[in-house]
Amino acid sequence: MSKTAPLTLSKLLGNFFALFVLFVISFIYYNVVHTFHDRYREPKIFLFLFIFHYLLFMLLWCFFRAMLTDPGVVPPLWGFYMGDSEQKRRRYCLMCHVFKPERSHHCSACNRCVLNMDHHCPWINNCVGFYNRKFFILLLVYVLISTTLITITLFPTVYASVKQIIEKRDIYAYKEAALFSAYLLNCLLNGVMFMFLKFHIKLIFTNITTIENMDKQNLPNLIVYNKGYKRNWIQVFGRNPWLWPFPMTGRSGKPVGDGVIWNDEVVQNFDEEIPANENEARRSSRLTGSGVAASRERLASPVRQGNSLEGTRKEFESTLDSSSRVKADSHHVGLLVSP
């Protein structure tokens, strides 16, 4: 059974990366506000500062949600759902002592297995996985929008400041130098975020992760996860479009699925019409997930009663056998009824 992972050196160093991110945000924020603080009564400046502070709030909200949200832990007993012993051997994690579901990987920095792991991001000091991938993407979006707004709005002011420094040859113009440095840093972030966000949007539209994208030989096998642009997007951002811009989930805004089972039975609701409201979404989820929930209940019941894992395994196998017999009987009945 997986336990709380001890802190690693990479995890400790990640705290300094996160603090550095906050320092950069504070440095740019100070120079932007200090530039316009005496002109905030002007309508255009007031509108700019209002939008800027709103974007900053959303950016920080996404940053802390991505950093503090658990990306997904592997259920300790889920391995009984796996197939043959060879598959179990290949997917067993010697570090966490759990069977890894498909698309899950062990992170050496976090010292744990992560569901649908995309990558470990040192800037948020956390892994990007099944449950916080949406927050990470939104963080990139708001950083890109914020830096674009600053780049466009501050350009005339920065240009005038640089021109003044050159004409006066004043190397002690600290205010102008700080503004110019913040502007260059902002432009650098803007370019990096554009390329980074473009890359991750492409991954979402094809329903693959950064780790999976690096394995070029296995890419053709990952097409089974691709359900189309719309369904792939909903799988990460949830069914409720009103919650897409916000780093929150709710009942209809959480990722589709559980991050453990990726077969067609679990995602078959993707092949149907997307539910129009939350009640239909819950009803569809109950119908499509009833078989999996029943199997899990049978699996967990003897464990709660204190039986051995061997007894759990036998009961689960008997459940599968009875399920197969029901399918066979249904098939024969269908043949008899057919004209």
Which residues are known catalytic residues?
A: 121
d(CA 87, CA 83): 6
Which residue in this structure is represented by tokens 């699996």? Answer: 299
241 neighbors 263 (Cβ within 8 angstroms):
no
69: nearest Cα among 124, 147, 142, 4: 124
Q: Are strands 98-99 and 105-107 parallel, antiparallel or unpaired?
A: unpaired
Structure tokens at 227: 């359900």
129 neighbors 259 (Cβ within 8 angstroms):
yes
263: nearest Cα among 238, 239, 288, 300: 288
Q: Are strands 105-107 and 112-114 parallel, antiparallel or unpaired?
A: antiparallel
**Which amino acid is it at 298?**
R
Specify the 3-state DSSP secondary structure of 120: strand
143 neighbors 156 (Cβ within 8 angstroms):
no
CA–centroid distance for 83 within its chain: 28
Q: Are strands 92-93 and 112-114 parallel, antiparallel or unpaired?
A: unpaired
